[in-house]
Amino acid sequence: MTSISLPRKVFQGVAKRAEMFRMFDRHAKRPDRFDGHQSGTFAGEWFEIDETSYTYMRDILPPLWMRGPIFAMREFMTGSVTSVFYAIQIDDTVRYFHTYCDLSDPNSVEAMRSAILDRETRPLRAMSRQERLKHIWSTTADDYRGYAGDLWPKPTQGNRTIMLYGGKEGTVLKLLGTLTDDEIAAKLPVHLRHLPTVLAA
């Protein structure tokens, strides 16, 4: 089965090794992790890493395959989805990326490379609303993020939740997708709060 998940950036900035490994576990507590086909959860996700992390992952195990500066991990995340690492020259600088590609689609590796190039060569640095939400989810500690359970209305059960500080009201648990612009800004690091918004990433 081929995943139809579109490429999506899930972390802003360059992840160091500890952050990279934390990103690998960003879906570890999802309630349906043992149910059915999970490729869509992972396939299409990508984020930038540093050269040290790229080199570490290249050397830790023999890769499944290596095509110049691109290599795939031998251990699959789920089904036919595995980690693929890229070294891509962008604006005269070599940059490094971790992605999840569904190798049942023979075009997935090149399509991911093209998506990264398209996203990272935009003349104006910007973030879509979805990129902001994905960054918040990726950087929030497990104790402050989760999934809507049985006490939530049926249509929302299983959706991502996030804990917010509500001032006099104390902490408030909200669905990630319902955060207001002000709440999103409050959860982002200062250097990302005032980036312009784009419609698509």
- For residue 29, the model assigns a pLDDT of 75
- Please say whether the beta carbons of 97 and 13 come within 8 A: no
Within this chain, do residues 97 and 150 fall inside the same structural domain, yes or no? Answer: no
Q: Are 104 and 142 members of one domain? A: no
Same domain, 102 and 140: no
pLDDT at position 16: 93
Domain end marker among 69, 102, 120: 120
- pTM recorded for the entire structure: 0.72
Domain membership flag for residue 94: yes
Q: Is 73 found in the same domain as 147? A: no
* 50, 144: one domain: no
Does residue 88 form part of some domain?
A: yes
Specify whether 49 is located in the same domain as 64: yes
Within a domain: residue 3?
no
What SS3 state is found at 195? coil
Distance CA 49, CA 10 (A): 12
The domain boundary residue, chosen from 66, 90, 120? 120
Contact 23, 10 (CB under 8 A): yes
Q: Both ends of the chain: CA-CA distance in Å?
A: 25
Q: Residues 75, 164: one domain?
A: no
pLDDT in tens, 82-116: 999 999 999 889 999 999 999 999 999 999 999 99
Q: Alpha carbon of 109 to those of 5, 63, 166: distances in Å?
A: 13, 15, 43
Q: Are residues 15 and 113 located together in one domain of the fold?
A: yes
Same domain, 50 and 84: yes
- Shared domain for 90 and 181, answered yes or no, is no
pLDDT of residue 1: 34
Tokens of 32: 């349906």
Q: Which residues of the chain have pLDDT under 50?
A: 1-4, 199-201
Nearest in space to 54 (alpha carbons), one of 108, 8, 15: 15
Please check whether residues 101 and 153 belong to one and the same domain: no
Q: What is the pLDDT of residue 39?
A: 67
Distance between CA atoms of residues 120 and 87, nearest Å: 13
pLDDT, position 2: 38
In a domain, 147, yes or no: yes
> Domain boundary at 65, 95, 120, which?
120
Same domain, residue pair 16 and 114: yes
> Coil, strand, or helix at residue 87?
strand
Q: Which domain holds residue 93?
A: 8-120
3-state SS assignment for residue 88: strand
> What is residue 68's three-state secondary structure?
coil
With beta carbons less than 8 A apart as the criterion, state whether 73 and 63 touch.
yes
Within-domain flag for 105: yes
Radius of gyration of the chain (CA): 18
Structural domain count, the chain: 2
CB 78 within 8 A of CB 39: yes
